[in-house]
Chain A
């Protein structure tokens, strides 16, 4: 369907023109280069050797990592917030050459950034050390003794340290009871430790040390300090402050370099472009004078490529081939603008198999309808559609964001329509007669409507599988597997509708009989074949389960509506006085915003699930590999082609 047709391309040209050719191919942006090394190895041509340009790839990667480091570092100091979707800087070829020659400037910026970063780390470690020392000294602040004077005299020793607070009484009693020639002073006390200075005569040293040990003694020594603990703490605190000043200076220095950010951003993109060109070389093979390139190109770009090559040189060969049986064809999707947002949903599941079909076009109406039904509020729908339209118009996002917003826009319109159909405008805040019926009053009708939608999508799935079989030339497979099956299901459904019951009965019988006979037709043994045929009838329950799964359309739409009603009811309760009315408005705005967010999340997740599990299960083949052409990838700049 909408899977772009690919051709294999092989090109041989001169080594001397390799760089210019690659450069132009990158600008061209529609050719995916495939690595040839393995194929060459199999063939065993001695003249053909794998090419590479590892040296310049390594050099550019080193430069890139410098740019990245500096960018990350400086952006921490950038106070100016960039607008979310700022326009990209335009850079032409001459400018980009100029920028690429400014290696010295990059080197300077990088070295400075590294220098500043290194000093920040240094300061940090000094700071931690200071904090630790201060924490050690603080318990000793009441001690009015110079720390370096604590030590021994001829007959006495002085020690400082901590013991467990719970042993303090015991320790002091022991000194008193045993009449030891010792004195201790309690310096300070914490919950668990008591800090002591102990002075004792050498006569009782052994006993004192024993007693201390029993009390959980931890000796400290501050020999490296002069002056009292308090003096030292004050000194260290002053040092901490000076670190703060140094840090402020460094920050200022870094902030002074913030202006380099835009330079770095440009370099980042330019180096990325250069690196992409260099790394593509390793996919080529070469002889002395020529090189060979092999790859994939969308069929519609073939002429453009030929023209491009003609513009560069006349010494080349260019061949286009159809993909062979075993080739892994890359997948590129091409859908109308309305369908494009849905590609996101499929891609998140898996890209379609290149030999299968692209489900997006068929999936779009289902997804959008389901998305809207799970919200079922016209006012929410209008808000979503307008908000996303403004966003798309103003910021012109690209890639995934564009698809996401497109999806929300379509979903918003759908929610508006279904909200109108079932009469939901901010729940029941604005009372508008539903265009069709109110599901709260006729829930069964609503439920049946949802299940019918489900049956339609499931049938579509079966038909797509049949289409695939027919396209592959297996018409009878389509008849045996899908037509008979659909007859059985349709017959069963008709049997529930009185006027069609008779027709339905015969359809069901024919369908069932056919399924029993043919569903296991690859089985040789007739008994086994009929047995598994009968067993396959059991899949009817699976179909029933699939259909019932669509009841979530009703349940989620119901949830959005009733929760909105809950908020409305609570809001109205507040709206007595004037102040109450103000509160009511604030409350309603917050409440409905919350409900809208929740409804969108639920609708997104559950619509996706219906596609993935119920719909894709019937026909979809995934595991396609994306088409990744050599192209100009930029994040910050727009490269002008001239």
Chain B
């Protein structure tokens, strides 16, 4: 499919934009979040290399937003038939698909970053009181709640769109 056709069919264009927002923004959030935890974790591991496994657990936590984003992106693609025969999408439907991608994209971006910060602070717990790791994980998981809710919102919106 060439670029001219894509512009010509603005519905498809908008649907792709929606999936790009979902995957792209949520992915950015996770990338920043995981990066922040990685920096804090490296500090902890310099002192005590045996804590690598536990810090890795914390580092994995902000990684989920990107996956939620990919998930919604994937559902949009399968809806419009990227994997075999694109379906006709009207402009209106395209807009709806675009909107469905926004909750997880936006919330994924912000919550990924802040979950990263919470998890990075949790690395401090691992450094001083490794037996309390679970508490640090719960603090980080509190942030993720909103990404989960956004994922649900995106999914329900997407599910309501009939092509």
Contact = CB atoms under 8 A, between A and B. Distances in A.
Contact of B74 (A443, A447, A552, A562): A562
Contacts of B74: 562, 565-566, 569
A96 B86 CA distance: 78
Interface stretch (B6-14, B41-49, B92-100, B132-140): B132-140
A612 B57 CA distance: 19
Contacts of B145: 549, 552, 609
B16 interface: no
Contacts of B148: 551-552, 555-556, 606
Interface in A240-280: none
Contacts of A349: 134-135
Contact of B155 (A348, A555, A563, A602): A555
Interface in A519-568: 548-549, 551-552, 554-556, 558-559, 562-563, 565-566
A608 interface: yes
A598 interface: yes
A318 interface: no
Contact of A612 (B70, B138, B156): B138
A601 interface: yes
A387 interface: no
A554 B68 CA distance: 13
B81 to A, nearest CB: 13
A348 B139 CA distance: 13
A605 B138 contact: yes
Interface residues of A, number: 28
B141 interface: yes
B39 interface: no
B19 interface: no
Contacts of B64: 559, 598, 602
B145 to A, nearest CB: 7
Of the four ranges (under 10, 10 to 19, 20 to 34, 35 or more), the interface on chain B belongs to 20 to 34
Nearest to B74: A566
Interface string A199-214: 0000000000000000
B77 to A, nearest CB: 9
Interface string B52-88: 0000010011011001101100110010000100000
Contacts of A608: 134, 137-138, 141
A606 B141 contact: yes
B142 to A, nearest CB: 7
B8 to A, nearest CB: 27
B121 interface: no
A443 B159 contact: yes
A473 B141 CA distance: 38
Interface of B is mostly: helix
A608 B136 CA distance: 12
A159 B83 CA distance: 78
Nearest to B140: A605
B143 to A, nearest CB: 11
A601 B159 contact: no
Interface string B121-154: 0000000000010110110111011001101100
A548 B78 CA distance: 28
B75 A601 contact: no
Contacts of A556: 148
Nearest to B158: A443
Contact of A609 (B68, B83, B142, B149): B142
B57 A555 contact: no
A605 B142 contact: no
A620 to B, nearest CB: 14
Contacts of B144: 606
Given A598-B60, A601-B60, A555 B67 contact: no
Interface in A595-620: 598, 601-602, 605-606, 608-609, 612-613
B137 A605 contact: yes
B138 A555 contact: no
B155 A558 contact: yes
A311 B142 CA distance: 56
A598 B66 CA distance: 12
A360 to B, nearest CB: 15
Nearest to B137: A605
8 contacts: A348-B134, A443-B155, A447-B156, A552-B145, A555-B149, A608-B134, A609-B142, A609-B145
Interface of B: 57, 60-61, 63-64, 67-68, 70-71, 74-75, 78, 83, 132, 134-135, 137-138, 140-142, 144-145, 148-149, 151-152, 155-156, 159
Interface of A: 348-349, 443-444, 447, 548-549, 551-552, 554-556, 558-559, 562-563, 565-566, 569, 598, 601-602, 605-606, 608-609, 612-613
The 7 A-B residue pairs with the shortest CB-CB distance in the complex, in nearest-first order: A348-B134, A552-B148, A555-B148, A605-B141, A562-B71, A555-B152, A609-B141
